[in-house]
Amino acid sequence: MVNRADIGVIGGSGFYSLLDDAEEIQLSTPYGPPSDVVTVGRIGSRSVAFIPRHGRGHQFPPHRIPYRANLWALRSLGVRQVLAPNAVGSLRAEYGPGTIVIPDQIVDRTSGRVQTYYDAGGAVHVAFADPYCSSGREVAVAAARSGDWQTVDGGTLVVIEGPRFSTRAESQWYTANGWTIVGMTGHPEAVLARELALCYTSLALVTDLDAGVEAGEGVTHEGVMAFFAENVARMRTLVSATVEALPDKRTCECGSALDGLKLPFELP
């Protein structure tokens, strides 16, 4: 099953639907089923496949999301460019709730998550120095600024294991390291996309200042979800604008990420 969509969107917390008049597709993969049925439809002239990262009922906590199945399912439908909207906490007081960050780096602070397709059949080492698609980032930044978002071009997303939020000490440590935002789902999603030679761009909506940034009771799940719900319609508009502006033909380096490597299996 190929060429059903060329752009994939993986929706984060509170972002459970995107497409109108969409077809629902039940998919299986070598890594089990994806988080939910995949919906396929159109945004303008572009064919798009959408998966809610946590499932439509938010049944998957961040450390239990079937990341490998989600990315594999998208590629099997023909997807080659992926947008990943998600909710994050800010490690910088100047980037308050409502800021859109398009990160250019990622730090993995998770533990125990399977983060590769190539764990059998021979070693496959994929370059990951620049984890996000340069072309997708450029398009997303322009779309966010055109939509009057406070937009941060670049920055480091630190991904924690979850499902708990950070302690104040951890949060202050992340800030001291110069990192920008913190979330629970950007890894291994980004590296799995690279291992499938997919373009991957994160659209991170700041929903709160992290625990070490300001005094108070700290971050709560209810607060994050409430803020995202207030902004989800606007976020859908941003995603749609980015989808329509993505290039028809890839000229970035993402598509050649596996060139010269001996893969133990054939990709979909």
Active site residue ranges: 208, 210
Calpha distance 224→15 (Å, rounded) = 12
Which residues fall within 8 angstroms of residue 215, CB to CB, at 6 or more apart? none
Calpha distance 184→105 (Å, rounded) = 15
Q: 87 and 210 in contact (C-beta within 8 Å)?
A: no
Calpha distance 158→180 (Å, rounded) = 8
Q: 8 and 52 in contact (C-beta within 8 Å)?
A: no
Calculate the CA 261 to chain-centre distance: 25
Calpha distance 70→51 (Å, rounded) = 7
Calpha distance 198→206 (Å, rounded) = 25
Which residues fall within 8 angstroms of residue 210, CB to CB, at 6 or more apart? 89, 90, 91, 165, 166, 171, 174, 175, 182, 219
Residue 203 forms beta bridges with which residues? 85
- Alpha-helical regions (H) of 96-253: 134-146, 168-176, 189-195, 221-245
Nearest-Å Rg of the Cα atoms of the chain is: 17
